[in-house]
């Protein structure tokens, strides 16, 4: 069984407790306009070009048998591309990179186990994305193996997934990192391309099953940081019983480069990161409801 993973980050300390390895699955049903990992959206791998690393030797162009690489305006990979990877091999400076590659389950587990010793006392593995459930068959095989390895597992999910799948994952997952992006479904749809009904319903059901969650809320100025939305979000989260913490993730636009590399439109360039005072205000709002708050995960 193979799945597509676009990054594996060791020494990860912001995605769950302790020292962790975070595995990023490719593919996502949502299209959040502030997406910090735009490379995660498409399930299919893609070749990205790092302009700052390129020495314009054109080895990539020469290496391609399909005429898929041109150099008219920087390096372009066109639709002829078969993802054979020859251009990447030929590039002496790693200016071309394959975003996403196939991993066998065993290969991925082997990579994760490299840091097994570091996971002791509270650390472990976080599966993130994209939306990991997009590759649900692969996900369950990986989760099953992680459980057999007795590793603490956190799953970072949008919650936009069929309930039976989420339900099944409960027996494998120690902690859900569960996103709430907007409490108003219309706005949710406007900014993420999907409504939030399924997401909120799933979270309630998950909570009823006793699954431990860390609710993660990206704070996007002008989009979801208004007091009304936040108060309603607090109300919703407060109605749940098994929320270990609320992680408020302040928006930043440090991923702009990624958009450029992937030749995607960056729509949130004029949104500024929330002020520290704003984050404090929100912290207090959640804390007043008796919730444990982390800023920045």
Partner 1 sequence: MENKTSCKIIDYTHIVKEEKGMNERIKKLRKQSIEASESISKERAELLTEFYKNTNENSIPIKRAKAFEYILNNKTICVNDGELIVGERGERPKATPTYPEITLHSLEDLRVLNDREKVSYKVSDGVFELYEKEIIPYWSGKTVRDMIFEEVDTEWIDAFEAGVFTEFMEQRAPGHTVLDGKIYKKGMKDFIKDIDDALSALDYENDKDALDKKEELLAMRIAAGAVINFARRYADKLEALSDKEKDKKRKEELLKLAQICRWVPENAPRTFHEALQYYWFVHLGVVTELNGWDSFSPGKLDKHLYTFYKKDIEEGRLTKDEAKELLECLWIKFHNHPAPPKIGVTAQESSTYTDFAQINIGGIKEDGSNNVNELSYLLLDVIDEMRLVQPNASIHVSKKNPDKFIKRAIEILKTSFGQPSIFNSDAVVQELLRQGKDIVDARCGGTSGCVESGAFGKENYMLTGYFNIPKVLEITINNGKDPVSGKTIGLKTGEFEDFETFDDFFEAFKKQMYHFIDIKIKGNLVIERICAKYMPAVFLSVLIDDCIKKGKDYNAGGARYNSSYIQGVGTGTATDSLAAIKQVVFEDKLFSKSLFKEMLAKNFEGFEKERQILLNKTHKYGNDDDYADSLMRQVFEEFFSYIDNRKTYRGGQFRINMLPTTVHVYFGSVLGASADGRAAFEPISEGISPVQGMDKNGPTAAVKSASKMDHIKTGGTLLNMKFTPDLLKDEKGVNAVVKLVRTYFTLDGHHIQFNVVDAAMLKDAQKHPENYGDLIVRVAGYSDYFAHLNEQLQNEIIKRTEHEAV
Candidate list 3, 4, 5, 19; residue touching partner 1; CB under 8 A: 19
Question: Tokens for 133?
Answer: 């459930």
Give how far Cα 89 sits from Cα of 60, 96, 98, 248, Å. Answer: 8, 9, 10, 40
In 3D, which of 192, 156, 179 has the Cα closest to residue 246?
A: 179
Candidate list 2, 165, 189, 252; residue touching partner 1; CB under 8 A: 252
56 lies in the binding site for partner 1 (CB under 8 A) = no
In 3D, which of 127, 137, 114 has the Cα closest to residue 174?
A: 127
Candidate list 73, 164, 241, 254; residue touching partner 1; CB under 8 A: 254
9 lies in the binding site for partner 1 (CB under 8 A) = yes
CB of 118 to partner 1, least distance (A): 5
CB of 237 to partner 1, least distance (A): 19
Q: How far apart are CA 129 and CA 285, in angstroms?
A: 29
Candidate list 38, 124, 250, 274; residue touching partner 1; CB under 8 A: 250
Q: Which is nearer to partner 1, 11 or 66 (CB)?
A: 11
Site string for partner 1, 85-124 (x = CB under 8 A): -------xxx-------------------xx-xx-xx-x-
Q: Which is nearer to partner 1, 241 or 265 (CB)?
A: 265
The stretch among 12-20, 133-141, 274-282, 285-293 that binds partner 1 (CB under 8 A) is: 12-20
10 lies in the binding site for partner 1 (CB under 8 A) = yes
The stretch among 8-16, 41-49, 163-171, 179-187 that binds partner 1 (CB under 8 A) is: 8-16
Q: How far apart are CA 110 and CA 52, in angstroms?
A: 33
209 lies in the binding site for partner 1 (CB under 8 A) = no
CB of 53 to partner 1, least distance (A): 9
For residue 217, report the phi and psi dihedrals to the nearest 5 degrees: -125, 110
Q: Which is nearer to partner 1, 11 or 163 (CB)?
A: 11
Q: Which is nearer to partner 1, 123 or 136 (CB)?
A: 123
**Within 10 Å of residue 259's Cβ, how many Cβ atoms?**
18
User: Which residues sit at the interface with partner 1, rule CB under 8 A?
Assistant: 9-14, 18-19, 36, 52, 55, 57, 59, 92-94, 114-115, 117-118, 120-121, 123, 249-250, 252, 254, 256-257, 273, 296-297
């Amino acid at each position: 069984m193979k799945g597509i993973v676009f990054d594996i980050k060791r020494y990860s300390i912001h995605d769950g407790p302790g020292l962790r390895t975070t595995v990023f699955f490719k593919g996502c049903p949502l299209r959040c306009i502030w997406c910090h990992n735009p490379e995660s959206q498409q399930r299919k791998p893609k070749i990205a070009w790092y302009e700052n690393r390129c020495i314009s030797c054109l080895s990539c162009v020469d290496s391609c048998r399909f005429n898929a690489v041109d150099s008219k305006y920087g390096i372009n990979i066109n639709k002829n591309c078969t993802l054979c990877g020859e251009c990447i091999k030929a590039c002496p400076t790693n200016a071309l990179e394959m975003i996403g590659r196939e991993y066998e389950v065993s290969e991925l587990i082997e990579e994760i186990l490299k840091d097994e010793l570091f996971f002791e006392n509270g650390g472990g593995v976080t599966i993130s994305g994209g939306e990991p459930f997009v590759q649900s068959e692969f996900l369950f095989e990986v989760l099953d193996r992680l459980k057999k390895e007795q590793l603490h597992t956190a799953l970072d999910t949008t919650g936009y997934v069929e309930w039976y799948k989420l339900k099944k994952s409960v027996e494998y997952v120690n902690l859900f990192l569960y996103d709430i992006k907007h409490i108003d479904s219309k706005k949710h749809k406007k900014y993420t391309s999907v409504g939030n009904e399924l997401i909120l319903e799933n979270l309630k059901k998950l909570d009823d099953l006793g699954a431990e969650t860390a609710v993660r809320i990206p704070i996007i100025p002008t989009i979801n940081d208004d007091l009304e939305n936040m108060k309603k979000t607090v109300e919703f989260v407060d109605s749940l019983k098994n929320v270990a913490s609320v992680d408020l993730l302040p928006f930043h636009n440090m991923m702009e480069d990624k958009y450029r590399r992937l030749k995607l439109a960056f729509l949130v360039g004029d949104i500024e990161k929330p002020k520290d005072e704003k984050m404090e205000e929100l912290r207090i709002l959640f804390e007043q409801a008796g919730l444990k708050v982390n800023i920045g995960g």
